[in-house]
């Protein structure tokens, strides 16, 4: 059994209105050192698989097909072996 954590980021050349709005809020709060805020997604789930490479390809396929849209997002993931979900 593996636990996967996937991080999905908006590609650098794509406008991120959410990040921009959050940063405006940050400025209002006085965080003057903060810049280039980008908001993405964090997804975690378990994969019932006995070997790492199978688990990896499943996470990759799930991320490519559904969790992210390759036109505007990149993703990265980590896999951790666990005893049970």
User: Contact at 8 Å (CB) between 55 and 80?
Assistant: no
Q: What share of the chain is helix, strand, coil (3-state, %, to 5)?
A: 35, 30, 40
User: Would you count residue 57 as binding other proteins (CB under 8 A)?
Assistant: no
Query: Which of 12, 71, 83, 84: binder of other proteins (CB under 8 A)?
Result: 71
Does 21 bind other proteins (CB under 8 A)? Our answer is yes
- The upper half-sphere exposure of residue 64, i.e. CA atoms within 13 Å in the direction of its Cβ, equals 6
Binding flag, residue 66, other proteins (CB under 8 A): yes
Q: Which is nearer to other proteins, 1 or 67 (CB)?
A: 67
CB of 75 to other proteins, least distance (A): 12
Sign of CA dihedral 11, 13, 14, 19: positive
Nearer to other proteins, 1 or 43 (CB): 43
What number of other Cβ atoms are within 10 A of residue 68's Cβ? 21
Q: List interacting residues with other proteins (CB under 8 A).
A: 14-15, 17-18, 21, 41, 66-67, 69, 71-72
């Amino acid at each position: 059994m593996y636990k996967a954590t996937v991080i999905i980021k908006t590609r650098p050349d794509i406008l991120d209105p959410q990040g921009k709005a959050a940063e405006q809020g940050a400025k209002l709060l006085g965080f003057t050192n903060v810049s280039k805020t980008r908001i993405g997604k964090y997804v975690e789930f378990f994969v019932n698989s006995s070997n790492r490479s199978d688990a990896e390809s499943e996470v990759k396929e799930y991320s490519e097909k559904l969790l992210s849209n390759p036109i505007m997002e990149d993703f990265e993931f980590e896999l951790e072996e666990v005893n049970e979900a």
